[in-house]
Amino acid sequence: MMEKKKVVIIDDEANIRELNRHLLLDNFTDVDVVGEADCVDDAVKVIELTQPDIVLLDIEIKGGTGFHVLQRLRPYSFKLIFITAFNQFAIKAIKFSALDYILKPVNEFEFVEAISNALKRIDEANDEAQVDNFIAHYGKDEQRKKMVLRTSDSMHIIEINDIMYCKSDNSYTTFYIKDQKEIVVSKGIKEYAELLEEYRFIRPHQSYLVSLDYIQRIDKSDGGFIILNNGKEIPVSSRRKQSLLQLLDQL
């Protein structure tokens, strides 16, 4: 008989802890909730005592934050899933770091998906590098503009400034990185367009996302193309052409 995976729930709302516990027990026969806590000190104690495989961790808890819990437990070996009420900065930071999260109010489908992902990754290296990146983005550390890209078989931590452009292929996005081979991730380009818009990225075509830093010129013939400094031609859609030209004129 396979040993059950151990889960700890850290949240300062008792009703959320209860809901998460019921969702786990109703949807996963191979997990066991071995502990709960609502504050930093108790969270550290219960995690050290139970050595869980997965921790559901609220960002804002009594006595501090989930980050304080993680700092006191390093190095840790569990899979981490953040629980958070909608917070634009937190969600962006989590996505930049390719971490799993559950948004309050909890949606059962999203909950099951996050737990399933964590269970699949139990044997992978832990999430410390991703958490470091999350904290840097959440704290708006301007010295650390990095992004975590998780593929089917590995994890890449890249400098945002090294991303030349991205290309969409339905539900997949290929990142073309300066001086590196491309990286293919199983997420649509729309999510990355929203994440990277504040880092001088534009979307000249529904299938492309381009860094302004690598644009050499615009060729207005044949409907319009962006020419990157490596010679790559990126098409410009007719409906985006005028706004793109106006944007480049302002630079």
- The CATH number of 152-250 is which of 2.40.50.1020, 3.40.120.10, 3.30.530.20, 3.50.50.60? 2.40.50.1020
Q: What is the pLDDT of residues 84-93, one digit of tens each?
A: 886 777 888 8
Q: Which of 15, 37, 5 is nearest to 116 (CA)?
A: 5
Mean pLDDT of the chain: 88
User: In this predicted structure, what is the pLDDT of residue 75?
Assistant: 83
Percent pLDDT > 90 in the chain is: 52
Q: Is the peptide bond before 204 cis (omega within 30 degrees of 0)?
A: no
Q: What is the pLDDT of residues 106-140, one digit of tens each?
A: 999 999 999 998 998 887 776 788 888 888 887 76
Note whether 17 and 37 are within 8 A (CB): no
Q: Which of 71-85, 144-158, 169-183, 237-251 has the lowest mean pLDDT?
A: 237-251
Topology alike, domains 5-138 and 152-250: no
CATH class in words for 5-138: alpha beta
User: In this predicted structure, what is the pLDDT of residue 136?
Assistant: 80
User: In this predicted structure, what is the pLDDT of residue 153?
Assistant: 80
Does the predicted model carry a pTM greater than 0.85?
A: no
The band of 142, judged by pLDDT with boundaries at 50, 70 and 90, is low
User: In this predicted structure, what is the pLDDT of residue 249?
Assistant: 63
User: In this predicted structure, what is the pLDDT of residue 209?
Assistant: 95
Q: What is the pLDDT of residues 201-230, one digit of tens each?
A: 999 889 999 999 999 888 777 667 888 999
Residue where the block lists tokens 């999430």: 127
What whole-number distance in Å separates Cα of residue 210 and Cα of residue 129?
26
Task: Give the Cα-Cα-Cα angle 197, 105, 18 (nearest 5 degrees).
Answer: 140
| Eight-state DSSP code of residue 121 | T
User: In this predicted structure, what is the pLDDT of residue 244?
Assistant: 72
Structural domain spans, the chain: 5-138, 152-250
User: In this predicted structure, what is the pLDDT of residue 1?
Assistant: 58
Q: Which of 62-66, 168-172, 178-182, 205-209 has the lowest mean pLDDT?
A: 178-182
